[in-house]
Amino acid sequence: MSRKISEESYRKTRSFRLHQWFTGEKDLFLDQVEMKPQEPFTESKKVKKKREKEKQKMLDQIYNLERNRKTGPFQTLYRVVSVLFCICMVSLFLVAVSYLPPLGDAGNPANNEVPQRYIENGLQETGAVNIVTGMILDYRAFDTLGESHVLFIATCAVLILLRLDGNKKKLQEEEASDSAHEPENDVILQTVAKIVVPPIMIFGIYVILGGHLGPGGGFSGGAIIGAGLILYLNAFGFEKTERFFTAKTYKWMCFGALGCYCLAKSYSFFTGANHIESIIPLGTPGAILSSGLILILNICVGIVVAGTMYTFYVMFRKGGF
Amino acid sequence: MDLSNLMHNYPEAVSMILFAIGFSNLLLQKNLIKKIIGLNIMDTAMYLFLALKGYIVGRSAPIVTDGVQSVEAYINPIPAGLVLTGIVVSVSVSALMLSLTIRLYRRFHTLNLDEISTMLKKEGL
């Protein structure tokens, strides 16, 4: 049932405010969200003149007619040749694909005795219900150790390239310019982060711990935890995260995890190579504390991956923490 | 060229076309970030191809359920492990490339490869 209400009482209703907000007359959240007015871009006359001169010089070089007459045909030729090359490449690939064995056939040459062995004996030999986890963290654990080291070395390379070390002033400048056009306390982002970050962390830990029981493992769980940390950092700023996560923490965390991985795998290689009975029980398949070393190795890999993701982000954003 | 087999293998053909898209991105784009995106598309095409190589019609993921341990029940687990290695290496390589790009941007204040090479030529390098 609809009834007619007076203009006065209509002005007090929520729908009127919503309509106002929708048409842009009045902001519903005015004075409730912290906003920072963006300052107009300013620079001194000298700097501006220099910049414009440099830019003009460069544009002259690029759009120089005399030079373009020489390089222009080459540019066109380059584009045409690269498109033709890609078309040739893809047609060659498609011809190769048409001679590949049919997709999804059980008799394909890839389905030989190796996966048969992994599937039939994997559960008894590694104790892991998830055969892929049993494969990568038991049969091929050395390979996974190499992967963790690749991540660690990539972080080291990024740290070398981007770290503004020993230059406190520059670091502060970078931090100031980083959030120059953003509100310091974004209410929407902070509320969402408060609600969402704890479930993300718990889900990441669940994925890491359940790596030998179902889909998951150290790499995916670590990436989830790293994403949660990045969201937390974006919402609450560097002061909050630097209380528990700095470069020193990362260093010791990675060192501890990789060292633990090395020690655990050294033990299993030593006992395996010398035909000594390993004292680590495999447990009942399906229980959380089962499958020997796989749970520990998953946790180590998860720590390394989470730290790596977070460190990449911090390095790209600020260059030091 | 076996056209009916190509039609049957269409997911693999899609991965090959994706690979070519990434490669043409790498050749034609002048922006460094877009070049990196092209390389990532090539990586993704390779993961798709590897994952398809392990797929067998009508079988489930290699997680032992109800104690069934025959080869007839599960798909091939080996390509999954290989794809995992590939993803880790791709993440590391992209991070390294992006940080090098940031260094180039700090030095030249542009991401366009042509402008960077023009500036380098101007400096006599």
Taken in order of first residue, the domains within chain B and their CATH numbers are 3-122 (1.10.287.3510)
Statement to judge: residues A160 and A263 lie in one domain:
yes
Q: Return the DSSP state at B21.
A: H
Q: Which of B15, B22, B25, B17 is nearest to B46 (CA)?
A: B15
Above 60 in pLDDT, residue A148? Answer: yes
In a domain, A108, yes or no: no
Statement to judge: residues A28 and A62 lie in one domain:
no
Statement to judge: residues A140 and A208 lie in one domain:
yes
B70 CB neighbours in chain A (<8 A) are: 119-120
> To the nearest whole number, what is the mean pLDDT of chain A?
83
CA distance B32 to chain A (A): 16
B52 CB neighbours in chain A (<8 A) are: 103
Statement to judge: residues A23 and A54 lie in one domain:
no
B6 CB neighbours in chain A (<8 A) are: 94, 97-98
Cα A236 to the center of its chain, rounded Å? 19
Cα separation, A124 vs A43, in Å, equals: 71
Statement to judge: residues A190 and A309 lie in one domain:
yes
Statement to judge: residues A19 and A146 lie in one domain:
no
Interface of A with B in 45-64 (CB under 8 A): 58, 61-62
Cα separation, B94 vs B102, in Å, equals: 12
Q: Which of A28, A312, A90 is nearest to B98 (CA)?
A: A312
B66 CB neighbours in chain A (<8 A) are: none
Helix/strand/coil percentages in chain A, nearest 5 = 70, 0, 30
Q: Which of B110, B87, B85, B94 is nearest to B37 (CA)?
A: B94
Statement to judge: residues A308 and A186 lie in one domain:
yes
Cα separation, A47 vs A303, in Å, equals: 47
In a domain, A111, yes or no: no
A161 touches chain B (CB under 8 A): yes
Interface of A with B in 171-190 (CB under 8 A): none
Residue B16's pLDDT band, with cuts at 50, 70 and 90, is: very high
pLDDT in tens, B48-62: 999 888 888 888 888
Statement to judge: residues A271 and A170 lie in one domain:
yes
In a domain, A123, yes or no: no
A285 touches chain B (CB under 8 A): yes
In one-letter notation, the amino acid at residue A136 is I
Domain range for A92: 45-98
The torsion region of residue A214 among left (phi > 0), alpha (psi -120 to 50) and beta comes to beta
Q: Give the residue from chain A lying closest to B6, CA to CA.
A: A98
In a domain, A116, yes or no: no
pLDDT in tens, A203-223: 999 999 988 888 888 889 999
* Residue showing tokens 């970030």: B33
Of A98, A121, A142, the position where a domain reaches its end is: A98
Check: CB of residue A293 under 8 Å from CB of residue A261: no
pLDDT, average across residues A312-316: 89
In a domain, A120, yes or no: no
Statement to judge: residues A232 and A304 lie in one domain:
yes
ipTM: 0.87
Domain count, chain A: 3
Q: Which of A222, A236, A240 is nearest to A312 (CA)?
A: A222
